[in-house]
Amino acid sequence: MSAFPADLRVQEYGCKTFAKICIMDASVAEAVAAAGAMRLFIKALNLDFTNDSTPVAAVDAIGAVALAPAALPQAYPGIDAVMRAVQRHEKNSEFAAAACTTLGIYLRCAATRHRARSGYADFGVKAAAAAHSSDAKVKKAAEDALQDPQA
């Protein structure tokens, strides 16, 4: 991904691949986060897109590594990047659902909850839900994201 920073396909498929393997194995998520992949996912999310699937893949990848201990110091940049992207991709319901899921990960985790709330992640989730109130996937992702964290 870092070798081809402007190639949207490389960024999209890199994000998708990392997200899938990180979700399957927490130790992989930790290694990916320790290697600095969060910065690559944020860069991919901030690219000027010509398609709707690349930002979805990037926000999914951010969520996949969000809770890895090595990624916790990068919670603010991750939350901030997703929040800015929610505004840029406000018409994309698939992105809204993915953003709600990722912001929900930050909101429900005790280690990142304060960071997420101070970054207004809960308002981002509510805004995405309001903008896509007729989309069941967005509505479900928003409801899940706003649930109280487990003790």
- Whether 2 is covered by a domain: the verdict is no
Q: Each residue of 22-81: pLDDT tens digit? A: 999 889 999 999 999 999 999 999 887 778 888 999 999 999 999 899 999 999 999 999
Q: Which residue has the tokens 């207004």?
A: 120
DSSP state of 148: P
Is the pTM higher than 0.75?
A: yes
Closest by CA position to 123, among listed 76, 77, 81, 86: 86
DSSP state of 69: G
- Whether 61 is covered by a domain: the verdict is yes
- Whether 119 is covered by a domain: the verdict is yes
- Whether 1 is covered by a domain: the verdict is no
Q: Which residue has the tokens 């929610």?
A: 86
- Whether 65 is covered by a domain: the verdict is yes
Domain with 76 in it: 8-145
Q: Each residue of 79-109: pLDDT tens digit? A: 999 999 998 898 999 999 999 999 999 999 9
Which amino acid makes up residue 97?
Answer: A
- Total structural domains within the chain: 1
Mean pLDDT of 6-29: 91
Other CB atoms within a 10 A radius of the CB of residue 110 amount to 9
Phi, psi angles (nearest 5°) of residue 89: -115, 35
- Whether 67 is covered by a domain: the verdict is yes
- Whether 74 is covered by a domain: the verdict is yes
